[in-house]
């Protein structure tokens, strides 16, 4: 019996993934209480060794998981994996279809062998003409128009995060939750497939739909046609940048009052939102000049008090000084195998007014749980050594 009160406590997830999309999906399930056992090759997941912008991949998306190593090129390794799968509720993988089939782990094979197992496959594409293509976050951003919408014309630009991989992992976890609910009704497992391309397509759907309805393409976001009177980045008297929005007629009036712009507030040409939008070419420079006369701290104080949308322009590293991020439950503290600790965001929701306690979120050393996990399945030291690719 477990005393864990999280919703997925008591469920076992076997995860065989790398990079971001697959690991993030397993992490979300683990944060909700599932026991996540990550299967890595004898030398460990290569994502562990990434540097530069890839340094945060493994520590961010593998928090709180157990780690076992298996040599899946060997009969012993594959047999051990099947012993583990026989105890699992969910299997999460992001291998190429052909590679999975060669190992005897194709979803249809697993469904026949383990009728109650939920197999969650995280792939580049759903079934169709592109299903065998290799996909990455940047690839699908270019394919779907996301990169086109992000950069100025002629300069497609990926967004500044692995957002597609992370959201794809979230959709994978979302599908698993739905399958678990369905299994509670009929007792059957299901084979799920989540597509990175289709996820990115969902993110650009609003631009697709606009074209389908109006027959007119939206320009890239840096050149967008504004639907709001003020929705811009300005510079303050002390040289800091600040984003300010006034998206309603009421906010327009408040902003004019705060900046001392009676000349705009009282102008008969600017009494309706559409008129304010149409006049942006000459009103925004006036707003910019008024903002440039005020200090950053002065402006954020009056904007917060008055309900005007605003934001400083921050770098990710600055989030470690943000008072809202530092509120109780805003960050989890994890420990790397070498003992170093680091902080990362938790789940972005509260339950009954409190952040969800995601439990221990440390990073396991390569193979740290191999002996315990497989020993509990009745395997002896020699069998575990053979299966994990290590000598007894």
Convert the pLDDT of each residue in 115-165 to its tens digit: 999 999 999 999 999 999 999 999 999 999 999 999 999 999 999 999 999
What is the pLDDT averaged over residues 329-342?
96
Whether residue 116 sits in one domain with residue 33: yes
pLDDT tens-digit map of 91-129: 999 999 999 999 999 999 999 999 999 999 999 999 999
Does the residue 152 lie in any domain?
yes
Do 52 and 357 form a contact (C-beta atoms < 8 A)?
A: no
Give dist(CA 130, CA 183) in Å, integer: 30
CB atoms within 10 A of CB 253: 14
What is the residue-wise DSSP string for 95-128?
Answer: --HHHHHHTT--HHHHHHH-TT-EEEEEESS-SS
> How far from 375 is each of 86, 170, 360, CA to CA, in Å?
15, 32, 22
What is the residue-wise DSSP string for 153-198?
Answer: TT-----SS-HHHHHHHHHHHHHHHHHHHHHHHH----EEEEEHHH
DSSP SS3 for 335: strand
Chain-centre distance of CA 184, in angstroms?
Answer: 27
The token pair at 100 is: 């999975």
Does the residue 292 lie in any domain?
yes
The token pair at 333 is: 């503290």
Whether residue 94 sits in one domain with residue 147: yes
CB atoms within 10 A of CB 147: 21
Among candidate residues 268, 284, 316, the one where a domain is terminated? 316
Give the model's pLDDT for residue 307: 96
| Structural domain of 291 | 226-316
Share of the chain above pLDDT 70, in %: 99
Give the model's pLDDT for residue 392: 41
Whether residue 16 sits in one domain with residue 103: yes
> How far from 84 is each of 36, 89, 109, 208, CA to CA, in Å?
12, 10, 16, 44
Give dist(CA 366, CA 50) in Å, integer: 15
Do 11 and 89 form a contact (C-beta atoms < 8 A)?
A: yes
Whether residue 294 sits in one domain with residue 245: yes
Of the candidates 182, 193, 173, 194, the residue with the CA atom closest to the CA atom of residue 32? 173
Whether residue 142 sits in one domain with residue 42: yes
Whether residue 309 sits in one domain with residue 337: no
Whether residue 382 sits in one domain with residue 290: no
Does the residue 178 lie in any domain?
yes
Does the residue 83 lie in any domain?
yes
What is the residue-wise DSSP string for 225-253?
Answer: PPSSSEEEEEE-TTS-EEEEEE-SHHHHH
Give the model's pLDDT for residue 3: 74
pLDDT tens-digit map of 201-260: 999 999 999 999 999 999 999 988 778 999 999 999 999 999 999 999 999 999 999 999
Does the residue 212 lie in any domain?
no
Letter string b/e over residues 28-46, b meaning 16 or more CB atoms within 10 A of that residue's CB? bbbbbbbbbbbbbbbeebe
* pLDDT at residue 390 is higher than 90: no
Do 223 and 152 form a contact (C-beta atoms < 8 A)?
A: yes
Residue 2: band (very low, low, confident or very high) from pLDDT cuts 50, 70, 90: low
Whether residue 196 sits in one domain with residue 53: yes
Among candidate residues 316, 350, 370, the one where a domain is terminated? 316
Whether residue 167 sits in one domain with residue 85: yes
* pLDDT at residue 286 is higher than 60: yes
Whether residue 246 sits in one domain with residue 102: no
Length of the chain, please?
392
Whether residue 45 sits in one domain with residue 159: yes
Give dist(CA 42, CA 226) in Å, integer: 54
Do 205 and 269 form a contact (C-beta atoms < 8 A)?
A: no
Does the residue 209 lie in any domain?
no
Among candidate residues 316, 341, 356, the one where a domain is terminated? 316
Give the model's pLDDT for residue 4: 83
Give the model's pLDDT for residue 391: 55
Q: How many domains does the chain have?
A: 2
Residue 1: band (very low, low, confident or very high) from pLDDT cuts 50, 70, 90: low
Please give the mean pLDDT across all residues of the chain. Answer: 95
Supply the CATH number for residue 91's domain.
Answer: 3.40.50.10540
Does the residue 213 lie in any domain?
no
Does the residue 277 lie in any domain?
yes
Give dist(CA 181, CA 187) in Å, integer: 10
Which residues partner with 350 through β-bridges?
Answer: 355
Letter string b/e over residues 207-236, b meaning 16 or more CB atoms within 10 A of that residue's CB? beeeeeeeeeebebeeeeeeebbbbbebeb
Whether residue 349 sits in one domain with residue 306: no
Supply the CATH number for residue 242's domain.
Answer: 3.30.1540.10
- Give the phi and the psi of residue 259 in degrees, each rounded to 5: -95, 5
Residue with structure tokens 């994996």?
81
């Amino acid at each position: 019996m477990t005393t864990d009160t999280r919703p997925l406590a008591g469920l076992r997830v076997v995860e065989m993934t790398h990079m971001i999309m697959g690991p993030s999906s397993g992490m979300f399930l683990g944060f909700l209480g599932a026991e996540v056992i990550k299967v890595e090759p004898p030398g460990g997941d290569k994502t562990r060794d990434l540097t530069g912008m890839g340094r945060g991949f493994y520590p961010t998306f593998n928090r709180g998981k157990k780690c076992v190593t298996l040599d899946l090129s060997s009969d012993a390794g594959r047999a051990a994996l099947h012993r583990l799968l026989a105890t699992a509720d969910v299997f999460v993988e992001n291998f190429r279809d052909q590679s999975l089939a060669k190992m005897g782990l194709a979803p249809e094979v697993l469904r026949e062998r383990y009728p109650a197992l939920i197999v969650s496959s995280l792939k580049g594409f759903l079934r169709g003409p592109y299903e065998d293509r290799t996909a990455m976050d940047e690839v699908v951003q270019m394919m779907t128009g996301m990169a086109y919408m992000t950069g100025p014309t002629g300069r497609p630009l990926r967004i500044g995060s692995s957002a597609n991989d992370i959201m794809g992992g979230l959709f994978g976890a979302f599908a698993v939750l739905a399958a678990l609910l369905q299994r509670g009704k009929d007792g059957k497992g299901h084979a799920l497939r989540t597509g990175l391309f289709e996820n990115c397509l969902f993110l650009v759907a609003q631009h697709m739909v606009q074209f389908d309805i109006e027959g007119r393409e939206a320009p890239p976001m840096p050149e967008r046609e504004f639907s709001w009177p003020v929705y811009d980045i300005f510079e303050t008297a002390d040289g800091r940048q600040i984003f300010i929005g006034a998206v309603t007629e009421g906010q327009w009036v408040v902003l004019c009052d705060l900046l001392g712009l009676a000349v705009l507030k009282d102008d008969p040409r600017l009494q309706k939102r559409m008129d304010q939008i149409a006049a942006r070419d000459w009103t925004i420079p006036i707003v910019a000049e008024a903002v440039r006369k005020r200090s950053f701290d002065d402006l954020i104080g009056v904007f917060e008090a008055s309900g005007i949308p605003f934001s400083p322009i921050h770098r990710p590293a600055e989030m470690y000084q943000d008072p809202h991020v530092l509120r109780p439950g805003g960050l989890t503290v994890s420990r790397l195998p070498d003992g170093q600790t680091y902080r990362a965001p938790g789940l972005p929701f509260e339950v009954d007014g409190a952040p969800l306690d995601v439990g221990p979120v440390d990073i396991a050393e390569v193979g740290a749980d191999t002996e315990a996990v497989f020993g509990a399945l009745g395997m002896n030291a020699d069998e575990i050594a053979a299966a994990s690719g290590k000598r007894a």
